[in-house]
């Protein structure tokens, strides 16, 4: 059985044997398997490494709650992928231009409350300063529809609608199943309303428009 056949067979199970954020995406769009061979091979490599006994154990254990992807997003930013210097929030000066401001959720929240008019008692995943403007963002990987994933989506949308100062832009940095064409609430929300929702892969392009 090749990797594509193995992957399709395992997707038919109620519980996939490993935790990977792309699995729910493939469940929603089975045709994506043919378009993403590297991702399928990466996942199947981990599965084959497990052996049959471990594979059976993982497929039959109780389901666990999905974990947020925030730490991975922050590590990604620290690589400099946005083409802007990354500085810790304690080292930021308002004279500093074109930087990503780094820190924990609470450190970024406190900075935004003190300086940007942000009034939510909720941590922030992303702050950038470019051309005397600030961008506040909430980053989520939406792996499925319904339940906790809907709550994560609504949390990001609430950040967009939070009142802030005039030179501050609030955005939602979302990836996952919400972009799959469907009648689902998340897809309709982002396509029927003019709101600043974008994939992390487009974040750099957005920042360079400011």
Predicted confidence (pLDDT) at residue 168 exceeds the cutoff of 90? yes
149 vs 70, higher pLDDT: 149
Asked if residues 71 and 41 have their Cβ atoms less than 8 Å apart, the reply is no
Tens digit of pLDDT for each residue in 42-82? 998 988 888 888 887 777 765 543 445 667 888 889 989 99
- pTM across the whole model: 0.69
Question: Would you put residue 124 in left (φ > 0), alpha (ψ -120 to 50) or beta?
Answer: beta
Question: Would you put residue 80 in left (φ > 0), alpha (ψ -120 to 50) or beta?
Answer: left
Predicted confidence (pLDDT) at residue 151 exceeds the cutoff of 50? yes
Average confidence (pLDDT) over 139-165: 84
Predicted confidence (pLDDT) at residue 145 exceeds the cutoff of 60? yes
Asked if residues 134 and 168 have their Cβ atoms less than 8 Å apart, the reply is yes
Q: What is the DSSP letter of 124?
A: -
Predicted confidence (pLDDT) at residue 21 exceeds the cutoff of 50? yes
**Cα–Cα distance measured from residue 202 to residue 43, given in angstroms and rounded to the nearest whole number:** 25
Q: Which two tokens stand for residue 12?
A: 């038919």
**Cα–Cα distance measured from residue 193 to residue 74, given in angstroms and rounded to the nearest whole number:** 28
């Amino acid at each position: 059985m090749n990797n594509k056949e193995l992957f399709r067979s395992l997707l038919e199970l109620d519980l996939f044997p490993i935790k990977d954020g792309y699995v729910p995406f493939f469940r929603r769009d089975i045709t994506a398997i043919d378009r993403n061979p590297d991702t399928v091979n990466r996942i199947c490599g981990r599965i084959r490494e497990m052996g049959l006994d471990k594979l059976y154990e993982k497929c039959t254990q109780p389901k666990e709650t999905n974990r947020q992807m925030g730490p991975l997003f922050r590590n990604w930013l620290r690589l400099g992928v946005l083409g802007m210097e990354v500085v810790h929030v304690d080292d930021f000066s308002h004279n500093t231009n074109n930087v990503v401001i780094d820190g924990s959720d609470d450190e970024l929240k406190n900075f935004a409350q003190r300086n940007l008019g942000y009034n939510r008692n909720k941590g922030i995943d992303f702050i950038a300063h470019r051309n005397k403007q600030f961008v506040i963002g909430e980053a989520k990987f939406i792996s499925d529809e319904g339940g906790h994933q809907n709550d994560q989506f609504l949390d990001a949308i609430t950040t967009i609608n939070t009142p802030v100062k005039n030179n501050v832009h609030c955005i939602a940095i979302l990836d996952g199943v919400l972009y799959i064409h469907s009648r689902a609430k998340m897809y309709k929300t982002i396509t029927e309303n003019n709101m600043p929702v974008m994939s992390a892969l487009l974040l750099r392009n957005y920042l360079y428009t400011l």
